[in-house]
Amino acid sequence: MTAQAPDRVLYLNKNFVLAGISEDELWSPEARFTDREALCTGCYRGYIATYRVHDDALELHELKLSHGQSSMRKPPPLGGREPTPFDQEPFGFFNWTYTDIGMRLDYSGGLLLADGFIQKLYVHMGFHPAWKYKHVHELVFDNGRLVDAFDRSRQMVEIRKEFKNKPLKPSRELDSETIRSWIEGTFSRKYER
């Protein structure tokens, strides 16, 4: 597997990477899109969601989807929106897109929104954690309503200091369980509030 294409969050008129989720996923397409498939290793989930905070409410705003490449069946409506074929994608990750969905989500928990990836911290595996970004905001929601927001950029500087002299990935000489645990961790965006 490779580094994964992240979900995005529109907040304060800016497009952030969704780098951390304190609770369960914000929204999951598993039940609705059973014909979903990964068209490349850079997006093993077969979709990328863009969320937005609008009038202090969390919404699913856009969805890019790899759906039924072999059958090319049109996916079902989502939030009252019909999908449109998505053929402008240069890497071939997706074949359908939903725009301006505006579907309110009832998520309760924290999100880490990140911007300004530090390229020297790149590792070709999974999702990049929040501490690898220069600017990080934590948003806290209760039933989909924004109840608090914090700038966590200074805390990320402190975390980076802890990792300064540590390798970004495990040595190949380590036992397979340690390596497997590290790989699983890179594909999780879970964080503790």
DSSP state for residue 28 in the 8-state scheme:
-
* SS3 (DSSP) at 181: helix
Q: Name the residue ranges covered by the structural domains of the chain.
A: 27-104
Query: The whole model's pTM is what?
Result: 0.86
CA gap 162, 127 in Å, rounded? 20
Q: What is the biggest distance separating any 2 CA atoms in the chain, rounded to whole angstroms? A: 52
Structure token pair of residue 41: 């290793």
Residue whose C-alpha is closest to residue 28's, from 83, 109, 105: 105
DSSP state for residue 172 in the 8-state scheme:
T
Q: How many alpha carbons lie under 13 Å from residue 151 in its C-beta half-sphere?
A: 6
> Tens place of pLDDT for every residue, the chain, 193 residues?
578 889 999 999 999 999 999 998 888 776 667 666 666 777 878 889 999 999 999 999 999 888 765 546 788 888 899 988 876 655 567 888 899 999 999 999 999 999 999 999 888 888 999 999 999 999 999 999 999 999 999 999 999 998 887 767 767 776 778 777 766 766 678 888 8
CA gap 1, 186 in Å, rounded? 11
